[in-house]
Amino acid sequence: MKRPDWSAGNHLELLENGEEFFPAVFAAIKGAKHEVIIETFILFEDKVGLALREVLIAAAKRGVRVDMTVDGFGSPELSMNFVNGLTDAGVRLHVFDPPPKLSRRLKPFRRLHRKIVVVDGETGFIGGINYSADHLIDFGPEAKQDYAVRVQGPVVAQLRRVTGEILATATPQTRSAGPTAQRRWWRSRAQEPRTSNPSTGSGAATAGQAKAVIVTRDNHRHRDDIERMYRLALHASQHEVIIANAYFFPGFLLLRSMQRAARRGVKVHLILQGQPDIAWARWAAQLVYDRLMRAGVQIHEYCERPIHAKVALVDDHWATVGSSNLDPLSLSLNLEANLIVEDRAFNRALRDKLLPLMKSQCKLLKIEETNAHRWWWRLGMGAFVFHVMRHFPRWLARLPRQAQPVMPVAQTPVVVSASQLPDAEAWQWQGVSLSVTPGASGTSCTSGAACLRKETAE
């Protein structure tokens, strides 16, 4: 891992759930003048996906260059009508590592799990929220609790560079002419020119005072960068650590960092799944509860609905929001991206979101409620399963690697004849607007929900 490329002078807004995230993204796309780039793991053809489709089509029709890359495993089916509406308008719709025709669910590893938006090289979004209706509260008991960040300032150029690396690998049918189109097989990725376009403002001017950096994980030069940033923050912690994560099964080094922080008196709180959307997620996390709690780590299970967050804060200045879970898939296999922030106001904004969850919507576990008292655990079965699962990604990484192409959607099995939700209608997002209250250090929306204001569209 090379030294982080910190950028000062950024303006950050913490966004909670789809009610805040989707209107902010759609409004930014609606105002785009030159370029929109989107990466997402999941794009569903529900009311959120249809609303995104509407704003992308409108942007492309007014001459904005639009590139959207979806993951072939996370977005396995899109109807021909949905896709044709986008591509006919000029949207370049790509699929990362599309599935084989035999089965759309046969390639679950090394996925594009990032969630990034860049508009005109000036405004960016990063977090854990996909384009699906289950990120809206009205979805019901299975609605996900999650976070994202709207970014303005110099760090947006880093976001754009990250997305440009994926687009540079797209097949010639989907990428436009330019420096990346002339790439030759003998040029290493390290020699690849950084994407830049004067019309998109990729050298964004100072917009605030927050210090931030984009940290990625891939299967080449950045295999453990996100995990290392977590470990460095834990090693430097002095008073408090709060980690909220959907899928929690970290490796030995990260577990040890949490244990050591707790043993030297740091208050370490974990907000984890109490009502998981995937059954094995809670079971896997429970395998490490005992060793963490014996070190003094406090574990809070969020029981209101599934938590999909991938956020953390340390003391009163460090924070992260992104796509990376703390499990083997995210830490060892998938392509991930997190925003790391050093800013007191943003740290405070995230704390103001997490503390109410921890205090009133979570159950604080006692060690008697873990597997530590079960006979099969005392016989060593828990330790055996833990070590097998911990080393599984390393074993998998040694298998022969296949190329992971980025292909035009029309050339992949993702396109199906008809939508699974034929009666779905686009979400009327313009009925919800964000009222921004300036905060310290160039950070807006420091009071979280107070920044969301519902209005009737006129």
47-61 and 80-89 are packed helices; what angle lies between their axes, rounded to 10 degrees?
Answer: 20
Query: Which are the catalytic amino acids?
Result: 113, 115, 120, 308, 310, 315
User: What is the predicted pLDDT for the residue at 143?
Assistant: 96
Sign of the dihedral defined by the CA atoms of residues 397, 147, 48, 170, in that order: negative
Q: CA angle, 139 as apex, 138 and 144 as ends, to 5°?
A: 105
Specify the pLDDT at position 107: 75
> How many C-beta atoms surround the C-beta of residue 57 within 10 A?
18
The residues with which 432 forms a beta bridge, in sequence order, are 454
| Integer CA distances (angstroms), 130 to 8, 21, 67, 320, 423, in order | 28, 10, 16, 18, 21
Residue 204 CA to residue 115 CA, distance in Å, equals 21
pLDDT tens over the chain, length 458 residues: 678 899 999 999 999 999 999 999 999 999 999 999 999 999 999 999 999 999 999 999 999 999 999 999 999 899 999 999 999 999 999 999 998 876 666 678 889 999 999 999 999 999 999 999 999 999 999 999 999 999 999 999 999 999 999 999 886 655 443 333 333 333 333 333 344 444 444 456 888 999 999 999 998 889 999 999 999 999 999 999 999 999 999 988 899 999 999 999 999 999 999 987 777 777 778 888 988 999 999 999 999 999 999 999 999 999 999 999 999 889 988 999 999 999 999 999 999 999 999 999 999 999 887 765 665 555 565 566 666 666 666 666 666 666 789 999 988 988 888 887 777 889 999 876 544 333 333 444 333 333 333 332 33
| Whole-model pTM over 0.85 | yes
Helix (H) and strand (E) counts in the chain:
12, 21
What are 212's two structure tokens?
A: 């931030």
Tokens of 238: 């002095």
pLDDT (0 to 100) of residue 186: 31
